[in-house]
Structure 1
Amino acid sequence: MNRVLLTAQIIERKALRYTPAGLPALDLVLKHESDVVEAQQPRKVAMDIKAVAIGSIAEQLTRFEIGVPFGLAGFLGAPRNGRGVLLHITELNDTV
């Protein structure tokens, strides 16, 4: 299974573009911060992650304010250059 649930905020948003199939696409950088427990020990997690949204979700994200947390779901894939990880956003929840 490849499913990610995350609360994040947009820290960088590129201009809306269109795929060769004509679908809207939006490239983003998201920031996530949380406290988790690992091996019965508290741990602070902070990361920036590259993300992409396709279709109506891309259009919705153009209206989200930078720096405001929201919930999302998606899956992890490889970017076009094959290096690192790219979060593909498939669901939004604008309330945290």
Structure 2
Amino acid sequence: MNHVLLSAKIIERKALRYTPAGLPALDLVLEHESEVTEAQQTRKVKLELRALALGDIANRLNRQDTGVPIGITGFLGAPRNGRGVLLHITELNDIV
């Protein structure tokens, strides 16, 4: 299973573009910060992650203020150049 549920904030947003099929596409860099428990120890997690949104979600994220926490659901894939990881955003969620 490849399913990601993450709270993050946008720290970088490229210009909205369109795919050859005419879908809006938006490339982003997200930042996540949290504390998790691993082996009975509290660990701080901070990471930056490249992300891609298509369609209506791309339009919504293009209007989203940077630095504001948002809930994201998606899946991990490889970017076109095959280096690293790219989060494909499929849903926006409320943060609880």
TM-score by length of structure 2 reads 0.97
Question: Counterparts in 2 of 1:1-96, with a 5 A limit?
Answer: 1-96=1-96
TM-score by length of structure 1 reads 0.97
Unaligned runs of 5+ in 2: none
- Tell me the matched-pair count: 96
Q: In percent, how many aligned pairs have the same letter?
A: 74
User: Residue deviations 1:9-65, cap 9 Å, x none?
Assistant: 000000000001110000000000000001111000000000000010000001110
**Superposition deviation, residue 94 in structure 1:** 4.8
Q: Residue 58 of structure 2 aligns to a residue in which SS?
A: helix
For residues 21 and 40 of structure 2, what CA distance do their matches in structure 1 show?
48
RMSD: 0.9
Unaligned runs of 5+ in 1: none
Give structure 1 regions of 4+ aligned residues with deviation exceeding 3 angstroms. Answer: none
Q: Residue 27 of structure 2 aligns to a residue in which SS?
A: strand
Q: Residue 62 of structure 1 aligns to a residue in which SS?
A: helix
For residues 18 and 5 of structure 1, what CA distance do their matches in structure 2 show?
26
Give the AA of the match of 2:3.
R
